[in-house]
Amino acid sequence: MFISNSVEETIAAGRARGQTARQGDVFALTGDLGAGKTQFVKGFVAGLGSRAEVTSPTFVLVHEYTDGRLPVYHFDFYRIEDREALLRLGFDDYIFGDGVSLIEWADRYADLIPEDAQWIFFALQSENSRVITNSEPR
């Protein structure tokens, strides 16, 4: 468990995780709206050496960041209405491909998340404080 007291600390936690990421890693991110998931991804992508400007893929479903050590596939399941939309998008090709996948709101379609995914939970503790909890793959 890690308690982040600022956006910068959440970004730094993501950066540290990105620096150790390996091809094929899948990170399932869950938590309240505004709990820091996208900020964590910003740091993660930077930790892989990318200079990309990370934004939430809420309306486009997936962003690809390919200028770092590994490609990053950043998904947001928040507005996805059914699992068929994900499958049409080629979700399996991404998560079993050559990069790293980060999935916001992963719990919406947990049955599509690989068993070896690392789950990261984000919770609002106060206006400025977030609790970030990691779990090992199942």
pLDDT at 80: 84
Q: Give the domain ranges of the chain.
A: 2-135
What integer pLDDT is reported at residue 69 of this predicted model?
95
> What pLDDT does residue 137 have?
57
Residues 42-64: b if buried by 16+ CB within 10 A, e if exposed: bbbbbbbebebebeebeeebbbe
With tokens 């590994």, the residue in question is: 70
Count of residues in the chain: 138
C-alpha span between 130 and 3 (Å, rounded): 6
DSSP assigned state of 117? P
pLDDT at 14: 96
pLDDT, one tens digit per residue, over 91-109 is: 999 999 999 999 999 999 9
As a whole number, mean pLDDT of residues 54-80 equals 87
Per-residue pLDDT tens for 41-65? Answer: 999 999 999 999 898 776 677 899 9
CA angle 87, 88, 90 (to 5 degrees): 65
Which of 1.10.760.10, 3.10.520.10, 3.30.9.10, 3.40.50.300 would CATH assign to domain 2-135? 3.40.50.300
Task: Tell me the whole-structure pTM to 2 decimals.
Answer: 0.91
